[in-house]
Copies of this chain bind each other. A is one copy, B any other.
Amino acid sequence: MIPKTGLRFPSFQDLLKTVNAGQEQLKHARDEFVSQWGALGSQWGINRTMAQIHALLMTAPEAMTTDEVMEELQISRGNAHTNLKELVAWGLLRIVVKKGERREYFEAEKDVWQIFTIVARERKRREIDPALSVLSRCVEESRDIKTPEGKAFHDQMRALEDFVGFASKMSDRVSAMKYGPALQLATKLLS
């Protein structure tokens, strides 16, 4: 009930309610994010747990321990450990050591552009580079075949090689850019 005099200060109870409701909502939203992001991971060729851990830590206010991650996601120690380390290897997580504590804490890279360049680099390494190497080999092997089919094959391989090589360079360039310039460039492209 709002008194006739206008706005009043919220009571302690009101504040408490707001905060509790907020915490509830936040937990809900965050759980959804973690779970859905995990499901998306599959589509991205990243395993579910890895994606979930990443989502969890990206939205964690503080660095977390292996045990906290296990607890939160209800997964085994081995699974948590392997995927945490894999994320560290990617550069998406950092290990933090707190004074006077023996165990490791993990903290996520939260900058969106950083995350993007890391993922782009990794995908290039796993998807583009091997393709390029296969194509180069095929171009070589078919270089001096004289038959028409041979020439057609060679040309097709060359066209693919050129394109993939090009994509590779583009990926490098973009990954190497700072956010500002990239944004500017992209904006021009979108205009």
Contacts and interface: CB of A to CB of B under 8 A. Distances in A.
Given A127-B40, A130-B40, A166 B186 contact: yes
A12 to B, nearest CB: 15
A25 B61 contact: no
- How extensive is the interface on chain A, given as a class? 35 or more
A134 B40 contact: yes
A124 to B, nearest CB: 11
Nearest to A164: B112
Interface in A154-179: 156-157, 159-160, 162-163, 166-167, 169-170, 173-174
Contact of A126 (B18, B30, B43, B169): B43
Contact of A32 (B23, B138, B150): B138
11 contacts: A22-B150, A23-B150, A26-B150, A29-B145, A29-B153, A40-B127, A112-B162, A116-B167, A166-B186, A170-B190, A173-B189
A45 interface: yes
Instruction: Tell me what chain A mostly uses at the interface: helix, strand, loop, or mixed.
Output: helix
Contacts of A23: 147, 149-150
B110 A147 contact: no
A89 interface: no
A19 interface: yes
